[in-house]
Chain A
Amino acid sequence: MASSQSPGPNDEAIACPGCDLVQRLPPIPPGGRARCMRCGEVLASRSRDPFDRPLALALAAAIMLVVANTTPLMSLSAVGRHADTTILGGALMMWTQGQPLTATLVAFCTAIAPAVYLTLMCTVLIAVRRPPAPAWAGELLRLAEHSHVWSLPEVMLLGILVALVKIADLATVEAGIGLYATGALLVLLASLAASFDPRAIWGRILWAAQWMPRGSPGSDAKAGNGTSAQ
């Protein structure tokens, strides 16, 4: 049970998530990554700085997300009239124009999922600063990875650019602060993903099997306990 903090030799055997081939992870140099020898899936990467840098980037991205959501993305002027919109303002307009489901999806992919993702990432990265981190940090990390799938600010930015070009024929459009903030957010999110090293984080989280007895079938929890592959 000493394996909760120091990754021993036990942790080096891994099954590829893409093709299920069992293999031994080679020592990875900082900044390097290991790929599956059969299907080429990335098995693990090693960050130069797995704790401080992702936290700094996640905090910066969270601030940038607030800026991107509170300032106008773009404004339009035509025949003496002026209009502007924010990210959630776009979703709200979709709702009032009779498309509540689409509006919810847009709000989810552009604001809610990124906000959930960044909040959870900041919490997890703060929690693992003092190892061992409690098992709930693992739960949050799992939720963070699920919300990451639905966070699509990069697609939104391209969508806004296409909309700008389309409208440019009809009226004068101007990019707002929110658009630049979204651009900066994308850069921060990409660097966060690049410097994030889930193996290092999991290595600092207490094991569920020793932390809390599983409510569901007790034999299952016991069967898993301490029987990780050699």
Chain B
Amino acid sequence: MRAQPPSAAQAGLVSCRDCGLLSRAASPQAPGYCPRCGSQLHLRHPNSIQHTWALVIAAAICFIPANALPVMVSNALGSSTPDTILSGVNYLYESGSWPLALIVLVASFMIPLGKLMALGWLLIAVQRGARGGESQRMRLHRLVHLVGPWSMLDVFVATFTVALVQLNPLMSVVPGPGVLFFATVVVLTMLAAETLDPRLLWDRNGVDSHRA
């Protein structure tokens, strides 16, 4: 087994999350404040694993009504058609714009689902102290960060469709209850990606003080 180079936490150092300054921690339990920008220092985000699990589980629960309930309801001449995210994708596909159908399918369904699975897997890897493959897990963490905001796409599609199609009584579109659950999923997974400290992916058991 190759030796791990020392992390700042092992050397008694702590880097400021806001300004990046590396300073000596007052003590491992309470590292104190950054001398440059004055923000509170933490060796690792406090309770990173618990907070991330809570957010991931809450998002997973909201993911069900987000897909089961309609995000938009179209009313045209007395008849109303509810549209869920997936039926919206189907509508785009059948109306001939398959590239857009693909974009919406990826952004609204595959990215949120993939993010939940990726975060769960990263959390399990950290908790089991998995060794090897840190670089791949780091890449996954970065990918989760990068693509996360794009799943907000369907919320914006619904908003601007609703805003524009208000030609009562001929034709109108109103938002459905699913859009709020969907927005909640996106916000919770974005927060979860923020609270998961990537440095935990590199820590070895017993060396660092974050698990207390």
Contact = CB atoms under 8 A, between A and B. Distances in A.
Interface string B185-212: 0010010001000110111000000000
A103 B160 CA distance: 11
Most B-side CB within 10 Å, residue of A21, A225, A226: A21
Contacts of B149: 152, 155
Contacts of A193: none
Interface in A125-143: 135, 138-139, 141-142
Interface string B148-175: 0110111111111111111100110011
Given A15-B15, A74-B164, A97-B175, A22 B26 contact: no
> How many interface residues does chain A have, given as a range?
35 or more
A14 interface: yes
B97 to A, nearest CB: 6
Interface stretch (A49-57, A62-70, A75-83, A116-124): A75-83
A207 B131 CA distance: 39
Interface in B22-65: 22-24, 26, 30, 32-39, 41
Nearest to B138: A39
A15 B155 contact: no
Interface residues of B, number: 73
Given A209-B38, A224-B32, A17 B100 contact: no
Interface in A176-191: none
Contacts of B171: 78, 170
B100 A165 contact: yes
Nearest to A92: B163
Nearest to B34: A224
A74 B157 CA distance: 13
A149 interface: yes
Contacts of B161: 163, 166-167
B43 to A, nearest CB: 8
B149 to A, nearest CB: 5
A73 interface: yes
Which interface residue of B13, B95, B163, B171 has the most chain A CB atoms within 10 A?
Answer: B163
A36 to B, nearest CB: 10
A26 interface: no
B35 A224 contact: yes
B54 to A, nearest CB: 19
A207 B34 CA distance: 9
Contacts of B203: 20
B164 to A, nearest CB: 5
Contact of B163 (A81, A85, A170): A85
A90 B179 CA distance: 14
B8 to A, nearest CB: 4
A106 B167 contact: no
A156 B166 contact: no
Given A22-B8, A79-B170, A220 B33 contact: yes
Interface of B: 5-9, 11, 13-15, 17-24, 26, 30, 32-39, 41, 91-92, 95, 97, 100, 103-104, 107, 134-135, 138, 142, 149-150, 152-167, 170-171, 174-175, 179-180, 183, 187, 190, 194, 198-199, 201-203
10 contacts: A20-B7, A21-B8, A21-B202, A106-B156, A135-B37, A142-B19, A162-B153, A208-B37, A219-B26, A223-B24
Closest 9 CB pairs of A and B: A159-B156, A208-B38, A223-B26, A220-B32, A15-B8, A90-B163, A15-B15, A209-B35, A20-B7
